[in-house]
Amino acid sequence: MLPYKDILVSEIDAGVVTIRLNRPDARNALRNRLLQEISGVLEQIARDDSVNAVVITGGEQVFAAGADIKEMAALDFIGVMSDPRPGYWRRIAQFPKPLIAAVNGFALGGGCELVMHADIVIAGDNAQFGQPEINLGIIPGAGGTQRLLRTVGKSMAMQMVLSGEFINAEQARTFGLVSEVTLPEMSYSRALALAKVIAEKPPVAVRLAKECLLNSYETTLDTGLKLERKAFTLLAATEDRNEGISAFMEKRRPIFKGQ
Protein backbone atom coordinates (compact mmCIF):
# COMPACT_ATOMS: atom_id res chain seq x y z
CA MET A 1 0.00 0.00 0.00
CA LEU A 2 1.11 3.60 -0.66
CA PRO A 3 2.06 5.86 2.24
CA TYR A 4 -0.77 8.18 3.30
CA LYS A 5 -0.78 11.37 5.37
CA ASP A 6 -4.21 11.53 6.99
CA ILE A 7 -4.85 7.82 7.41
CA LEU A 8 -2.89 4.79 8.53
CA VAL A 9 -3.39 1.67 6.43
CA SER A 10 -2.45 -1.69 7.95
CA GLU A 11 -0.82 -4.63 6.27
CA ILE A 12 -3.24 -7.30 5.10
CA ASP A 13 -4.07 -9.64 7.98
CA ALA A 14 -6.15 -12.74 7.19
CA GLY A 15 -7.82 -10.96 4.29
CA VAL A 16 -8.55 -7.80 6.31
CA VAL A 17 -7.11 -4.29 6.05
CA THR A 18 -7.63 -1.62 8.71
CA ILE A 19 -7.91 2.06 7.85
CA ARG A 20 -7.31 4.35 10.82
CA LEU A 21 -8.18 8.04 10.57
CA ASN A 22 -5.08 9.86 11.70
CA ARG A 23 -5.52 13.60 12.27
CA PRO A 24 -5.67 13.59 16.07
CA ASP A 25 -4.77 17.29 16.37
CA ALA A 26 -7.85 18.18 14.30
CA ARG A 27 -10.00 15.47 15.94
CA ASN A 28 -9.92 13.52 12.66
CA ALA A 29 -11.79 16.29 10.84
CA LEU A 30 -12.50 15.04 7.35
CA ARG A 31 -10.59 17.48 5.17
CA ASN A 32 -10.58 16.82 1.44
CA ARG A 33 -7.24 15.10 1.55
CA LEU A 34 -8.45 12.62 4.17
CA LEU A 35 -11.59 11.75 2.19
CA GLN A 36 -9.52 11.45 -0.97
CA GLU A 37 -7.16 9.05 0.80
CA ILE A 38 -10.01 6.90 2.12
CA SER A 39 -11.73 6.72 -1.26
CA GLY A 40 -8.40 6.07 -2.99
CA VAL A 41 -7.36 3.23 -0.72
CA LEU A 42 -10.81 1.66 -0.94
CA GLU A 43 -10.62 1.75 -4.74
CA GLN A 44 -7.24 0.05 -4.53
CA ILE A 45 -8.57 -2.59 -2.12
CA ALA A 46 -11.61 -3.19 -4.32
CA ARG A 47 -9.21 -4.43 -7.02
CA ASP A 48 -7.10 -6.53 -4.65
CA ASP A 49 -8.32 -10.12 -4.44
CA SER A 50 -6.29 -10.79 -1.31
CA VAL A 51 -8.46 -8.38 0.74
CA ASN A 52 -11.99 -9.48 1.60
CA ALA A 53 -13.05 -6.99 4.28
CA VAL A 54 -12.02 -3.62 5.70
CA VAL A 55 -12.22 -2.13 9.18
CA ILE A 56 -12.33 1.65 9.50
CA THR A 57 -11.66 3.27 12.83
CA GLY A 58 -10.57 6.51 14.46
CA GLY A 59 -9.15 7.58 17.81
CA GLU A 60 -10.06 6.61 21.37
CA GLN A 61 -11.99 9.81 22.09
CA VAL A 62 -12.98 10.90 18.59
CA PHE A 63 -13.88 8.79 15.59
CA ALA A 64 -14.23 11.91 13.43
CA ALA A 65 -15.39 15.44 14.29
CA GLY A 66 -17.00 15.97 10.89
CA ALA A 67 -16.00 17.94 7.84
CA ASP A 68 -13.02 20.19 8.33
CA ILE A 69 -14.88 23.37 9.22
CA LYS A 70 -11.77 25.52 8.69
CA GLU A 71 -11.29 24.15 5.19
CA MET A 72 -14.94 24.45 4.27
CA ALA A 73 -15.35 27.94 5.75
CA ALA A 74 -13.19 29.28 2.91
CA LEU A 75 -15.61 28.05 0.27
CA ASP A 76 -18.17 30.39 -1.21
CA PHE A 77 -21.19 29.30 -3.26
CA ILE A 78 -19.08 28.52 -6.35
CA GLY A 79 -16.50 26.73 -4.19
CA VAL A 80 -19.15 24.48 -2.65
CA MET A 81 -20.65 23.86 -6.11
CA SER A 82 -17.34 22.58 -7.46
CA ASP A 83 -16.26 20.81 -4.27
CA PRO A 84 -14.69 17.39 -5.02
CA ARG A 85 -16.10 15.91 -1.80
CA PRO A 86 -19.31 14.44 -3.26
CA GLY A 87 -17.11 12.43 -5.65
CA TYR A 88 -15.08 11.02 -2.74
CA TRP A 89 -18.23 10.11 -0.84
CA ARG A 90 -19.68 8.42 -3.93
CA ARG A 91 -16.56 6.30 -4.31
CA ILE A 92 -16.67 5.30 -0.64
CA ALA A 93 -20.36 4.35 -1.03
CA GLN A 94 -19.51 2.24 -4.07
CA PHE A 95 -16.91 0.13 -2.26
CA PRO A 96 -18.09 -3.41 -3.02
CA LYS A 97 -16.54 -5.31 -0.08
CA PRO A 98 -17.68 -5.32 3.55
CA LEU A 99 -16.72 -2.16 5.45
CA ILE A 100 -16.93 -2.41 9.23
CA ALA A 101 -16.61 0.66 11.44
CA ALA A 102 -15.23 0.54 14.98
CA VAL A 103 -16.33 3.78 16.62
CA ASN A 104 -15.15 5.26 19.91
CA GLY A 105 -15.99 8.77 21.08
CA PHE A 106 -17.47 11.45 18.85
CA ALA A 107 -18.78 10.66 15.37
CA LEU A 108 -20.20 14.02 14.33
CA GLY A 109 -21.42 15.57 11.10
CA GLY A 110 -19.41 14.02 8.28
CA GLY A 111 -18.02 11.59 10.89
CA CYS A 112 -21.52 10.27 11.56
CA GLU A 113 -22.11 10.17 7.79
CA LEU A 114 -18.89 8.17 7.35
CA VAL A 115 -20.21 5.72 9.96
CA MET A 116 -23.35 5.38 7.83
CA HIS A 117 -21.23 4.43 4.82
CA ALA A 118 -20.06 1.38 6.78
CA ASP A 119 -21.98 -1.87 6.42
CA ILE A 120 -21.66 -2.87 10.07
CA VAL A 121 -20.91 -0.58 13.01
CA ILE A 122 -19.41 -1.65 16.34
CA ALA A 123 -19.43 1.13 18.93
CA GLY A 124 -17.55 1.57 22.16
CA ASP A 125 -19.91 2.55 24.96
CA ASN A 126 -18.33 6.03 24.96
CA ALA A 127 -19.44 6.69 21.38
CA GLN A 128 -21.64 9.67 20.57
CA PHE A 129 -23.30 10.24 17.24
CA GLY A 130 -24.63 13.54 16.01
CA GLN A 131 -25.42 15.79 13.06
CA PRO A 132 -24.63 19.22 14.55
CA GLU A 133 -24.46 21.02 11.19
CA ILE A 134 -27.58 23.01 12.10
CA ASN A 135 -25.45 24.88 14.67
CA LEU A 136 -23.29 26.14 11.79
CA GLY A 137 -26.26 27.34 9.77
CA ILE A 138 -26.04 24.43 7.34
CA ILE A 139 -27.43 20.92 6.99
CA PRO A 140 -25.77 17.51 6.57
CA GLY A 141 -24.35 17.15 3.08
CA ALA A 142 -23.10 13.56 2.80
CA GLY A 143 -26.23 11.53 3.42
CA GLY A 144 -27.16 12.74 6.89
CA THR A 145 -30.69 13.62 5.88
CA GLN A 146 -31.15 10.49 3.76
CA ARG A 147 -29.21 7.53 5.15
CA LEU A 148 -29.90 8.62 8.73
CA LEU A 149 -33.66 8.66 8.20
CA ARG A 150 -33.56 5.26 6.49
CA THR A 151 -31.47 3.93 9.39
CA VAL A 152 -32.99 5.36 12.56
CA GLY A 153 -36.44 6.35 11.30
CA LYS A 154 -38.11 9.72 10.86
CA SER A 155 -38.56 10.91 14.42
CA MET A 156 -35.00 10.28 15.63
CA ALA A 157 -33.47 11.55 12.37
CA MET A 158 -35.50 14.75 12.67
CA GLN A 159 -34.52 15.11 16.31
CA MET A 160 -30.80 14.71 15.55
CA VAL A 161 -30.68 16.90 12.43
CA LEU A 162 -32.98 19.70 13.64
CA SER A 163 -31.71 19.96 17.21
CA GLY A 164 -28.07 18.99 16.64
CA GLU A 165 -28.26 16.87 19.81
CA PHE A 166 -26.12 13.76 20.04
CA ILE A 167 -27.22 10.21 20.81
CA ASN A 168 -25.10 7.77 22.79
CA ALA A 169 -23.95 4.30 21.79
CA GLU A 170 -26.83 2.48 23.45
CA GLN A 171 -29.41 4.74 21.78
CA ALA A 172 -27.61 4.26 18.47
CA ARG A 173 -27.90 0.50 18.93
CA THR A 174 -31.58 0.71 19.83
CA PHE A 175 -32.22 2.74 16.68
CA GLY A 176 -30.19 0.48 14.38
CA LEU A 177 -27.29 2.83 13.67
CA VAL A 178 -24.88 0.38 15.29
CA SER A 179 -25.16 -3.38 15.65
CA GLU A 180 -23.13 -3.96 18.82
CA VAL A 181 -21.87 -1.92 21.76
CA THR A 182 -18.67 -2.97 23.50
CA LEU A 183 -16.24 -1.58 26.01
CA PRO A 184 -14.27 1.16 24.21
CA GLU A 185 -11.06 -0.88 24.31
CA MET A 186 -12.87 -3.83 22.70
CA SER A 187 -14.57 -2.13 19.76
CA TYR A 188 -11.67 -2.43 17.35
CA SER A 189 -10.82 -6.04 18.25
CA ARG A 190 -14.48 -7.01 17.91
CA ALA A 191 -14.74 -5.29 14.52
CA LEU A 192 -11.51 -6.95 13.38
CA ALA A 193 -12.69 -10.39 14.54
CA LEU A 194 -15.97 -9.91 12.70
CA ALA A 195 -14.13 -8.76 9.58
CA LYS A 196 -11.97 -11.89 9.73
CA VAL A 197 -15.05 -14.11 10.01
CA ILE A 198 -16.56 -12.42 6.95
CA ALA A 199 -13.23 -12.53 5.08
CA GLU A 200 -13.37 -16.35 5.26
CA LYS A 201 -16.77 -16.49 3.55
CA PRO A 202 -17.11 -16.93 -0.22
CA PRO A 203 -16.23 -13.45 -1.54
CA VAL A 204 -18.57 -13.44 -4.53
CA ALA A 205 -21.54 -14.37 -2.34
CA VAL A 206 -20.53 -11.74 0.22
CA ARG A 207 -20.29 -9.11 -2.49
CA LEU A 208 -23.67 -9.97 -3.98
CA ALA A 209 -25.28 -10.12 -0.55
CA LYS A 210 -23.98 -6.63 0.23
CA GLU A 211 -25.21 -5.37 -3.13
CA CYS A 212 -28.68 -6.84 -2.59
CA LEU A 213 -28.95 -5.50 0.96
CA LEU A 214 -27.90 -2.00 -0.09
CA ASN A 215 -30.28 -2.14 -3.03
CA SER A 216 -33.17 -2.32 -0.59
CA TYR A 217 -32.53 1.40 0.06
CA GLU A 218 -32.92 2.19 -3.61
CA THR A 219 -35.72 0.07 -4.99
CA THR A 220 -39.23 -1.19 -4.45
CA LEU A 221 -39.68 -4.54 -2.72
CA ASP A 222 -40.64 -6.18 -5.99
CA THR A 223 -37.53 -4.93 -7.82
CA GLY A 224 -35.34 -5.79 -4.84
CA LEU A 225 -36.70 -9.33 -4.76
CA LYS A 226 -35.99 -9.71 -8.48
CA LEU A 227 -32.42 -8.49 -8.00
CA GLU A 228 -32.00 -10.89 -5.10
CA ARG A 229 -33.27 -13.79 -7.23
CA LYS A 230 -30.85 -12.88 -10.04
CA ALA A 231 -27.92 -12.74 -7.63
CA PHE A 232 -29.03 -16.02 -6.05
CA THR A 233 -29.20 -17.65 -9.50
CA LEU A 234 -25.82 -16.22 -10.51
CA LEU A 235 -24.20 -17.83 -7.48
CA ALA A 236 -25.26 -21.24 -8.77
CA ALA A 237 -22.53 -20.78 -11.38
CA THR A 238 -19.72 -20.33 -8.86
CA GLU A 239 -17.18 -22.91 -7.77
CA ASP A 240 -17.51 -21.66 -4.21
CA ARG A 241 -21.15 -22.74 -4.13
CA ASN A 242 -20.13 -26.26 -5.13
CA GLU A 243 -17.37 -26.18 -2.54
CA GLY A 244 -19.71 -24.94 0.20
CA ILE A 245 -22.29 -27.62 -0.49
CA SER A 246 -19.68 -30.39 -0.93
CA ALA A 247 -17.97 -29.41 2.32
CA PHE A 248 -21.31 -29.59 4.14
CA MET A 249 -22.01 -33.06 2.73
CA GLU A 250 -18.50 -34.26 3.52
CA LYS A 251 -18.59 -32.76 7.02
CA ARG A 252 -15.45 -30.63 6.52
CA ARG A 253 -14.59 -26.93 6.44
CA PRO A 254 -15.05 -25.35 3.03
CA ILE A 255 -12.12 -23.73 1.26
CA PHE A 256 -13.44 -20.82 -0.77
CA LYS A 257 -11.45 -19.41 -3.66
CA GLY A 258 -13.57 -16.47 -4.77
CA GLN A 259 -14.55 -18.14 -8.00
CB nearer to ligand CO8: give 24 or 153: 24
Among residues 2, 73, 81, 249, the one that binds ligand CO8 under rule CB under 6 A: 73
Segment contacting ligand CO8 by CB under 6 A, of 103-111, 153-161, 206-214, 232-240: 103-111
Among residues 9, 27, 157, 190, the one that binds ligand CO8 under rule CB under 6 A: 27
- One symbol per residue from 142 to 181: x for binding ligand CO8 (CB under 6 A), - otherwise; what is it? ----------------------------------------
Q: Is 110 one of the binding residues for ligand CO8 (CB under 6 A)?
A: yes
Among residues 5, 70, 229, 257, the one that binds ligand CO8 under rule CB under 6 A: 70
Q: Is 106 one of the binding residues for ligand CO8 (CB under 6 A)?
A: yes
**Which residue has its beta carbon closest to ligand CO8?**
109
Q: Is 134 one of the binding residues for ligand CO8 (CB under 6 A)?
A: no
Q: Is 65 one of the binding residues for ligand CO8 (CB under 6 A)?
A: yes
Q: Vertex 231, ends 229 and 237: CA angle to 5°?
A: 115
